[in-house]
Amino acid sequence: MNMSNQPELPGEILLDEIVAARAPWTAIVRRGQTLRIVDLEGNQAVDFLMYSLDDDAERYSLQDTIAAQGNLFLRTGTVLRSNEGRPMATLTGTSVAYHDTIGGACSCESNTLRYGHHTKAQHACVENFLQGNARYGRGKRDMAPNINWFMNVPVEADGALGIVDGISAPGLYVDLRAEMDLVMVVSNCPQINNPCNGFNPTPVRMIVAA
Amino acid sequence: MSEHNTADPKSARAHARSMGGTRVEAMPTVPAMDAAIRPDGVPAEAMLWDETIAAGGYAAKRLNRGARLRLVDTKGDACLSMLVFNAERPIERLNIADTIKVQWNAYLGEGRLLLSDMGKVMMSITQDTSGRHDVFCGASNAASNAARYGDGDNWGQHPNARDRFLLACAKFGLGRKDIHACVNWFKGVTVLTDGATRFDGGAAANVAVTLRAEMDVIVMLANCSHVLDPRPDYPVTTAHVSAWRGAVTPTDDPIRNATPEGLRAFLNVEEDLRR
């Protein structure tokens, strides 16, 4: 793989895994550690939730994050905040201009609204989140508005918004530094009805370093 | 020595009973049919709820399918943050991301729907004279209010919306994990081309939003200053809420049929309730 466009990660590599297309992934990432997500084949949405390891009722909040930075888009320097307003992680670097946090996660149920009832049986990110969280004893109450790394959701002047063609490419990355001990839960998005995965879900790479 | 004669139980009872009938600004009218002002055309017997929510206050109500809920910014500076649960199964709740994504638009207003996380419409917006609402900035929290006003506690002068929701949730057997992303009524936020959020404030006194329950819902409202409001002195004023019985949405309803996505959200509710 070409990693020449990625800066060197600090310290020791603690974990280096490939998440298969359409699969969930979970990890505990401790304060001070950095997670790098690599979009291996380009324009692969990586749906992302995180919880405080000590108190999982504290979790990522798009509204606290947006209000605190005064902007919808996640860029280098963005502080990802919890529902208690505390910094959970910092976006320390990315080779993509911006990432989405307003588009939510695809679900079997919302797919029926967006595309029709013929899509109800298709695999979806909420299914991955539920499965990923279940191993920690969490359930549907733990669903929260998520981040979509490598996904593009512009908002036009009249409020028109939507998931449109991506601005990522093979080998582009995003780095997150944990500001507290975290449980991260990822869905490598299986959506095939819109351009969030270029209509072709692909694997992504997860590297944790410290 | 107290100025009140409460030295023995009978005196204390007489003292307590003497308070009955007191009127203050922020209180419910019980029964709601005695409300001083009813929405146009609503008969007294149909009234379900009539309450003034204080600046910093909160309230919650279970409403049946078809009920109408009216929120009024009586003085022009209310900020009603709202959570919505399916009353039958509170594990189903408002989903802001699906609400804007499925409707392909970032702003709420007349004719738009509030969607659940299970592909269903929870409430429709049948009337909106404000046009200034926000789905992006959410509830204030203890830390944000402490930073701006010195404190944000439920027992202080500057309660935060998240902790108001915590109390409302607790009274329905729900907890911190049930506090989801909320709508903020009566305080506008516009998204600029670079993604920046611009705080637009409120519209005017006496603007109102009317919602129609499309399933049995629990609505929770917290009236706390907006998290982006730059004014220093906890800028929020009282809000008035009322609700009344109404007909379940008919199949020829224009809001139900306005978009293919919205129609499927109604069909999913109707299917769920066909028993």
Q: Give me the residue spans of the domains in chain A.
A: 13-209
- Quick one: tokens of B272? 């769920």
Residue A72: list chain B partners with CB under 8 A.
136, 191, 195-197
pLDDT at B169 over 90: yes
Structural domains in chain B (count): 1
Contacts of B201 (CB under 8 A, 6+ apart): B132, B187, B188, B229
User: In 3-state terms, what secondary structure has residue A134?
Assistant: helix
Burial class (CB in 10 A: 0-12, 13-18, 19+), B193: exposed
Using one digit for the tens of pLDDT, what is the confidence trace for B73-109?
999 999 999 999 999 999 999 999 999 999 999 999 9
Q: Which residues contact B204 (CB under 8 A, 6 or more apart)?
A: B73, B76, B130
At A124, list the tokens. 């979806």
CB A197 within 8 A of CB A45: yes
Q: Has residue B126 been placed in a domain?
A: yes
Q: Are A183 and A129 in contact (CB under 8 A)?
A: no
Instruction: Report chain B's mean pLDDT, rounded to a whole number.
Output: 97
Would you mind telling me the total number of residues written for chain A in this entry? 210
Can you list the alpha helix ranges (DSSP code H) found in chain B? 9-17, 96-102, 142-149, 161-170, 260-272
What is the H or E stretch that residue A46 is in? strand A46-52
Pick from B269, B170, B157, B130: nearest CA to B224: B157
C-alpha B272/C-alpha B269 separation (Å) is 5
Residues of chain A contacting residue B118, judged by C-beta atoms under 8 Å apart: 107, 109
Is residue B3 one of the residues assigned to a domain?
Answer: no
Instruction: Look at residue B263 and give its three-state secondary structure.
Output: helix
Please list every residue in chain A whose beta carbon sits closer than 8 Å to the beta carbon of residue B177.
56-57, 141-142
Q: Is the pLDDT of residue B130 over 90?
A: yes
Paired with B207 in beta bridges are: B73
**Interchain proximity A161–B106, CB inside 8 Å:** yes
Determine contact, residues B234/B158, Cβ cutoff 8 Å. Answer: yes
pLDDT(B1) > 60 = no
Taking an 8 Å cut-off on Cβ atoms, the answer to whether A157 and B100 are in contact is: no
Rg of chain A over Cα atoms, rounded to whole angstroms, equals 16
- Residue B118 predicted with pLDDT over 50: yes
- Residue B65 within any structural domain of the chain: yes
DSSP letter assigned to residue A130: H
A109 touching chain B per CB within 8 A: yes
pLDDT (tens digit per residue) in A100-155: 999 999 999 999 999 999 999 999 999 999 999 999 999 999 999 999 999 999 99
Distances (CA, A) of B140 to A57, A68, B61: 17, 11, 21
Q: What is the pLDDT of residue A1?
A: 47
- Interface list for B 107-126 with A (CB within 8 A): 107, 115, 117-120
Between B95, B106, B194, which is nearest A159 by CB? B106
pLDDT of residue A5: 75
A100 DSSP β-pair partners: A148
Closest Cα in chain A, distance from residue B211 (Å):
21
Partner A contacted by B141 (CB < 8 A): yes
Q: Judge whether B202 and B73 are in contact, CB under 8 Å.
A: yes
Q: Over range B110-114, report the average pLDDT.
A: 98
Question: Do A106 and B118 touch, CB atoms closer than 8 A?
Answer: no
| Residue A32 neighbours by CB distance under 10 Å | 13
- Identify which of B232, B262, B239, B264 has the alpha carbon closest to the alpha carbon of residue B111: B262
Instruction: Please give the residue range of the domain that contains residue B192.
Output: 49-247+254-272
Q: CB of B201 within 8 A of CB of B188?
A: yes
B139–A105: do the CB atoms touch at under 8 Å?
A: no
Q: Which among A83, A103, A146 has the least Cβ separation from residue B101? A: A103
Return phi, psi of residue B227, to 5°.
-65, -20
d(C-alpha B103, C-alpha B12), whole Å = 58
